[in-house]
Amino acid sequence: DKSKTEALEDDEIEEFYKILTERKEIDKIFQKYSDTEGFMSCQNLVRFLYETQREEDAVVAAPALIQRYEPNERAKRGNSMTKDGFLMYLLSDDGNIFSSSHRKVYQDMTQPLSHYFVSSSHNTYLMEDQLTGPSSTEAYIRALTKGCRCVELDCWDGPNSEPVIYHGYTLTSKILFSDVIKAIKNYAFKTSPYPVIISLENHCSVDQQKVMAQHMTTILQDMLLVAPVDGNKSQFPSPEQLKGKILVKGKKLSRQEDPTGTNGNNNLEAEDVSDEDEAAEIEDESVKTEIQQKGKVSKRSNRVPKWSRPGETSDTLKLAKELSDTVVYCKSVHFDGFEDPSHPRPFYEMSSFTESKALKLAQESGTSFIHHNIRHLSRIYPAGWRTDSSNYNPIDLWNVGCQIVALNFQTAGTEMDVYQGRFQDNGFSGYVLKPEFLRDEQTKFNPKSITEGTWGTKKKLLLKIISGQQLPKVNKSKNSIVDPKVTVEIHGVQQDNNKKQTKVVENNGFNPKWDEEFTFDIEIPALALVRFVVEDFDMSTKNDFIGQYTLPFTSLKQGYRHIHLLTKNGDPYSSSTLFVYI
Work out the burial of residue 171: count CB atoms within 10 Å of its CB; fewer than 13 is exposed, 13-18 middle, 19 or more buried.
middle
Question: Considering only CA atoms, which of 83, 80, 96 is closest in space to residue 26?
Answer: 83
Active-site residue (options: 102, 115, 122, 371): 122
H helix or E strand, kind and range, residue 198: strand 196-202
Sheet of strand 498-501, all strands in order from the earlier edge strand to the far edge: 498-501, 484-491, 529-536, 544-552, 560-566, 572-581, 459-469, 513-522
Indicate the DSSP class of residue 313.
-
Question: Considering only CA atoms, which of 433, 375, 427, 434 is closest in space to residue 399?
Answer: 434
Backbone φ and ψ for 152, nearest 5 degrees, come out as -110, 140
Annotated catalytic, 371?
Answer: no
Work out the burial of residue 532: count CB atoms within 10 Å of its CB; fewer than 13 is exposed, 13-18 middle, 19 or more buried.
buried
Active-site residue (options: 102, 167, 376, 491): 167
What is the number of other CB atoms lying within 10 angstroms of the CB of residue 283? 13
Backbone φ and ψ for 351, nearest 5 degrees, come out as -120, 155
Annotated catalytic, 562?
Answer: no
What is the number of other CB atoms lying within 10 angstroms of the CB of residue 57? 10
SS3 222: helix
- DSSP assignment of 256-312, as one string? SS-TT--S-----B---S-SS-GGGGGGSHHHHHHHHHTT-SBTTTTB--GGGSTT-
Active site residues: 122, 167
